[in-house]
Amino acid sequence: MSPAARFVPLARLLHWLMAVLLLAQLLIGVAMMASLTLRPPLIALHRPLGLALLVLVLVRLWVRRRHPPPTLPADLPRWQAAAAHASHVLLYALMLALPLLGWALTSAAGNAVLLPGGVPLPAIAPHDPVLYAWLRDAHGLLAWLLFATVLGHVAAALHHAWIRRDGVFEAMAGGRRAPPPEG
């Protein structure tokens, strides 16, 4: 990867903004399950944050389509390039699926999904307690899969930053490429 190969600034902004929001969303989700007293205010925060992330991932996909990411280094082993591609597909799929599942489980519970200002969104699933239970379990399992995938993504980024020093991390971080180690 050449030092000039970078993600466009909007892609970098969306990446880091979504990283913070996703981490917050995962932590809020865990806290919602752990506390009955904090559950209502946390749900009130979790739902609009999920909708915001759904909008941001759609914007991010649009930006990615208009401005493809830099190519991976030519010397990257083929299996690592395939893993990078698969993990990005999985990340985007989960970032789309989780808010939609949250919206569907809220609909199946018979609750309205509200935009800021109290504007209700249409239900995307019928009010059905059995469906609600299934969607809630699926939402929780996929959230844990997202958490595991994010950890793998961070580990790969740190591998590129600290071990390979090949410019992949810097392409998203926006910094300068690290000089090769002496010796």
pTM equals 0.90
Helix (H) or strand (E) holding 49: helix 39-66
pLDDT digits (tens, 9 = 90+) for 69-123: 999 999 999 999 999 999 999 999 999 999 999 999 999 999 999 888 889 999 9
**Checking DSSP bridges between strand 120-121 and strand 113-114, what pairing results, if any?**
antiparallel
182 belongs to a structural domain: no
CA quadruple 162, 167, 171, 172: dihedral, nearest 10: -10
DSSP classification of residue 2:
-
Parent domain of 40: 9-173
134 belongs to a structural domain: yes
DSSP bridge partners of 113: 121
183 belongs to a structural domain: no
Domain with residue 58: its CATH number is: 1.20.950.20
Tally the domains of the chain: 1
3 belongs to a structural domain: no
CA quadruple 82, 88, 91, 93: dihedral, nearest 10: -90
180 belongs to a structural domain: no
2 belongs to a structural domain: no
85 belongs to a structural domain: yes
Tell me what the mean pLDDT of segment 42-60 comes to: 96
CB atoms under 10 Å from CB of 160, counted, come to 23
